[in-house]
Amino acid sequence: MEATAWPGVWRDGRELYTENLRPGHRVYGEELREVGGVEYRHWDPFRSKLAALLLRGAARAPWDGATSVLYLGGAHGTTVSHLSDLLPEADLFVVEKSPVAFAPLLELSRLRPNVLPILADAQLPERYAADVGSVDLIYQDVAQRGQARIFLENADATLRRGGRGLLMLKVRSVTQTRAPRAIVDEARHELAGRGRPVVAQTDLAPFSRQHVALEVGPRPAPSVQR
Ligand SMILES: C[S@@+](CC[C@H](N)C(=O)[O-])C[C@H]1O[C@@H](n2cnc3c(N)ncnc32)[C@H](O)[C@@H]1O
């Protein structure tokens, strides 16, 4: 097992691993491996877009230095569980609107105290912003219409000054007839127009052919009037 440039991520050949915060427990049927008395969990890039982003060459770890994260669209907690391994001391607020997906997320939070699930619609951040407070990173993977708008509203409500975002933008679906490039351009334009520039764009193929990762940089400081 070799350390990588992304803090907390290990690799064996092309396979990525995180150190299991709850040894002996699997979250999604992943391989567990013990090396030198430490248990690692395989991080599947076909199941987690964050692992896909790393393997597609992310220069920096988006979670680096975060003490508080707002995660929109937690589903059953696959990616959440790896962030939980990577940020054992952080607060991970995880918003999920489907009660069916929320049940396993709640179960996950019983084993992992840094996972704080919220049953809510990410289109209504005013319902949970006071509980979440100010976060260093917003991770969004909601696969629904208005993805840039949802990000912006959550960022305005919770992202601290200098905070960052990672938007897993869905660009292909059976009901979507527009070109992926047009969807990306429109989202980038909407984000930049509200002072949230995209600093990196990564196509997640072959791991996900439906998504492009947009890393949203800190808001530029307001210019000083003289
Ligand atoms: C592609 S899945 C997320 C997968 C997850 N991020 C992972 O990597 O493990 C999308 C999730 O977003 C949820 N979702 C969709 N729209 C939402 C909204 N408006 N608010 C909260 N969750 C939403 C869906 O219920 C679904 O569980």
93 contact partners, CB below 8 Å, separation of at least 6 = 68, 69, 70, 71, 116, 118, 128, 131, 132, 135
Q: Is residue 183 part of a domain?
A: yes
Per-residue confidence (pLDDT) for residue 218, from 0 to 100: 83
pLDDT values of the chain reduced to their tens digit, one per residue, 226 residues: 999 999 999 999 999 999 999 999 999 999 999 999 999 999 999 999 999 999 999 989 999 999 999 999 999 999 999 999 999 999 999 999 999 999 999 999 999 999 999 999 999 999 999 999 999 999 999 988 899 999 999 999 999 999 999 999 999 876 777 888 999 999 999 999 999 999 999 999 999 999 999 999 986 666 665 5
Mutate to test the pocket of ligand 1, among 85, 92, 93, 98 (most ligand atoms within 8 A of CB): 98
Per-residue confidence (pLDDT) for residue 20, from 0 to 100: 98
Return the exposure string of 135-157: e unless at least 16 CB atoms fall within 10 Å of the residue's CB, then b: bbbbbbbbeeeebbebbbbbbeb
226 contact partners, CB below 8 Å, separation of at least 6 = none
Q: Which amino acid is at 25?
A: H
Q: Distance between CA atoms of 174 and 104, rounded to whole angstroms?
A: 27
Per-residue confidence (pLDDT) for residue 226, from 0 to 100: 57
Per-residue confidence (pLDDT) for residue 145, from 0 to 100: 87
Task: Please tell me the distance between residue 221's alpha carbon and the centre of ligand 1 in angstroms.
Answer: 32
Q: Is residue 26 part of a domain?
A: no
Is residue 193 classed exposed, middle or buried when 0-12, 13-18 and 19+ CB atoms within 10 A define those classes? exposed
Return the exposure string of 54-68: e unless at least 16 CB atoms fall within 10 Å of the residue's CB, then b: bbbebeebbbeebeb
Q: Is residue 34 part of a domain?
A: no
Is 188 within 8 Å of 172 (Cβ atoms)? Answer: no
Mutate to test the pocket of ligand 1, among 96, 108, 170 (most ligand atoms within 8 A of CB): 96
**What tokens does 2 get?**
């070799």
Phi/psi at 200 (nearest 5 deg)? -155, 145
Phi/psi at 59 (nearest 5 deg)? -70, -40
Per-residue confidence (pLDDT) for residue 198, from 0 to 100: 96
Per-residue confidence (pLDDT) for residue 69, from 0 to 100: 98
Q: Distance between CA atoms of 169 and 162, rounded to whole angstroms?
A: 22
Per-residue confidence (pLDDT) for residue 149, from 0 to 100: 97
38 contact partners, CB below 8 Å, separation of at least 6 = 19
Ligand 1 atom having least distance to the Cα of 122? 20
For the domain that residue 125 is a member of, what is the CATH number? 3.40.50.150
Per-residue confidence (pLDDT) for residue 224, from 0 to 100: 65
In the chain, the number of structural domains is: 1
Q: Is residue 49 part of a domain?
A: yes
Task: Please tell me the distance between residue 75's alpha carbon and the centre of ligand 1 in angstroms.
Answer: 5
> Residue whose CA is closest, atom 25 of ligand 1?
98
Per-residue confidence (pLDDT) for residue 178, from 0 to 100: 85
Q: Is residue 129 part of a domain?
A: yes
Q: Is residue 97 part of a domain?
A: yes
CA distances from 126 to 55, 129, 140 (A): 35, 5, 17
Per-residue confidence (pLDDT) for residue 221, from 0 to 100: 65
Q: Is residue 8 part of a domain?
A: no
Domain range enclosing 154 = 45-216
